[in-house]
Structures are given as structure tokens and as C-alpha cells.
Amino acid sequence: MALEFRNVTKEFTTNSGARLTAVTDVSFRVEPGEFVSVVGPSGCGKSTILSMTAGLYQPTQGEVLVSDRAVTGPNSHVGFMLQKDLLLPWRSILNNVEFGLEARGVAKAERRERAMAELAHCQLAGFENHYPYQLSGGMRQRAALARTLAIDPEIILLDEPFSALDAQTKLLLQNSFAGTIAETGKTTLLITHDLAEAVLMSDRILVLSERPGTVMAEIKVELPQRDKPINRRTMPEVADYAAQLFKHLKLEEKAA
Ligand code: ADP
Ligand code: MG
């Protein structure tokens, strides 16, 4: 499914009653099956963009369209994954992955089958009866991805899913998430403040300005080694590419 923002502005009223413009005149389009990252400094409205895509907030001005239809409220086209895995601690990993299917009234046998398939897809086969506390942070994020994919959304929204992880785990997950999501062919919007991560994972990057966020630049990622696993030989090239982009966009202090 395509996702489009047309001249979207979002204002909030703060607790003190003042108006705050989170994003202003944001326009972009994500084609079906495309993986697009949104990068920008903290507070520039990245999460607000995801919330409007999910229909949790309405734009103050402009339009958000999914498959050329205006988003008017929360809808089942979208699967949302956050920095915090939000797994329920009293449920097994399998029951956590089944949770969204339960809420949608999917019958038990089908629920189990779909959840098991997604766990395998996210390299968690054999961990279905573990509880969240028994898994590492990286595995918990993979379980959260399995839960997001199990409901078979047409658009995947990822809000800084790796920012709480250590560097090593982060790199592994960036790589495995990119592969897993590419296999689904789903339209994906990733929010990150890490430009190297955006380069590593996406087809295209939207660079936002400081708040109120607006699209400052749009970069098509051209990495010849995208399809190969990331290792110490390919990684310097990615880091180098990201460093060049930082320089080009003069983003060193802001986005790093
Ligand atoms: P980012 O994800 O880029 O860090 P956010 O989208 O979370 O930024 O927030 C953008 C701005 O909008 C911030 O100044 C934030 O405080 C403000 N904001 C976000 N949500 C709300 C809300 N529900 N009410 C009031 N202000 C909000
Ligand atoms: Mg945010």
C-alpha cells in the first residue's frame, strides 16, 4: 500500500495552553513495498508523523492518505512497533505474538499457526514457551517484530526500534530486520535519529529539519552491497557513505 503525506501540519496545545507546531508542511510519498526512513533531530516531529500515519492523531492541516484514501482514525492496515517492546511479562512469547490476532478474533488454531510461522521468520523458533524476562533485549525486539508481522499489516511503522540496544546487537538487528521485512514486501516507514541505520536499512531517506519538522532533503540510497550480509568488510563502506551524507547535509551536530 502507498502512503502519502500532503502538506501536513500538526499543532498541539501544550499543558500551559500554548500552541506548539510539531511538523509543518510535510509532503512525501512511500510507494508500495518501499522502505523509507525518516531521520531528524530529537523533538522534530518524527513520532508525530508515525502517529498520524496510524490514525492516532489527525493533521491540523493537510492530508494523510493510505492507498489514496484519507486516514480518519486508527485502522488495521498499519502495524506499529516502538523502542520499548511492550511485551506482556505474564504471557509467553507465543502468547504475546498471538495477542493481536486474539484481539482481531482469529480462531485459536489459525492464531497459533500464524504466530509460530512469524516466530520462525524472526529467528525465534524454540523460544515460544519462554517469557519476555528470559530473552535478551535483541530477542525481545524480534518478538515484537513477530507480533507486528503476525497481524499482517500492509504498512509497518517502526519508531526507533533499536535505540535502547547495545551497538553489537543493534547492528545484528538492523541487518536481520531489513532482511525479514524485505521478504514480506511490506511498505515500511522507519523513524530513527541514526543516519547510518537509515542508510543500512532503507531504499530512501527523508531528512527532517529541527522542529517544526519539514522535509529538508530526500535521498535515494544506493549501496551496491545492500543485499549482502553486513560484516567488517561491508560495514566501513556503509559508515563511510553515512559520513559523507552527514557532511553533505551538514548534520553532524544535529542528527548524530
Ligand atoms: P520526535 O519523535 O522527533 O522526537 P515528537 O513527534 O515526539 O518528536 O514530538 C514533536 C514535538 O511535539 C515535541 O516538541 C513534543 O513535545 C510535541 N508533542 C508530541 N506529542 C504531543 C502531544 N500529544 N501534546 C503536546 N505536545 C506534543
Ligand atoms: Mg520520537
190 within a domain of the structure (yes/no): yes
Whether residues 110 and 212 share a domain: the answer is no
| Ligand 1 center–CA 246 separation, angstroms | 24
Question: Which pLDDT tens digits describe the chain residue by residue (256 residues)?
Answer: 899 999 999 999 999 999 999 999 999 999 999 999 999 989 999 999 999 999 999 999 999 999 999 999 988 889 998 888 889 999 999 999 999 899 889 999 999 999 999 999 999 999 999 999 999 999 999 999 999 999 999 999 999 999 999 888 888 899 889 889 998 999 999 999 888 889 889 999 999 999 999 999 998 887 665 566 555 455 666 666 666 666 666 554 444 3
**Shortest CA distance to 75 belongs to which of 50, 102, 47, 53?**
53
Whether residues 137 and 227 share a domain: the answer is no
Percent of the chain that is helix, strand, coil (3-state, to 5): 35, 25, 40
Q: Which of 9, 10, 12, 189 to mutate to test the pocket of ligand 1 (most atoms within 8 A of CB)?
A: 12
Whether residues 184 and 243 share a domain: the answer is yes
Between 93-103 and 108-121, two packed helices, what is the crossing angle to 10 degrees?
Answer: 130
Q: Which among 135, 152, 169 is the end of a domain?
A: 152
Q: Return the C-alpha cell found at 237.
A: 563502506
Those residues whose C-beta lies under 8 Å from the C-beta of residue 43, and which sit 6 or more positions away, are 210, 211
Cα separations in angstroms, 31 against 60, 67, 203 = 24, 9, 11
CATH code for position 195: 3.40.50.300
Fill in the amino acid letter for 167. Answer: A
82 within a domain of the structure (yes/no): no
Q: End-to-end CA distance of the chain, in Å?
A: 31
DSSP 248: H
26 within a domain of the structure (yes/no): no
Q: Which among 152, 172, 207 is the end of a domain?
A: 152
- Whether the CB-CB separation of 20 and 69 falls below 8 Å is answered with no
Whether residues 163 and 254 share a domain: the answer is yes
3-state DSSP assignment of residue 58: coil
Whether residues 166 and 255 share a domain: the answer is yes
The number of the ligand nearest the C-alpha atom of 48 reads 1
Whether residues 175 and 223 share a domain: the answer is yes
Q: How many domains does the chain have?
A: 2
Whether residues 73 and 167 share a domain: the answer is yes
3 within a domain of the structure (yes/no): yes
Whether residues 202 and 223 share a domain: the answer is yes
Q: How far apart are CA 215 and CA 4, in angstroms?
A: 13
**Chain-centre distance of CA 156, in angstroms?**
6
| Ligand 2 center–CA 42 separation, angstroms | 7
Whether residues 63 and 187 share a domain: the answer is yes
**Chain-centre distance of CA 5, in angstroms?**
16
Q: Which among 113, 134, 152 is the end of a domain?
A: 152
- Host domain of residue 144: 87-152
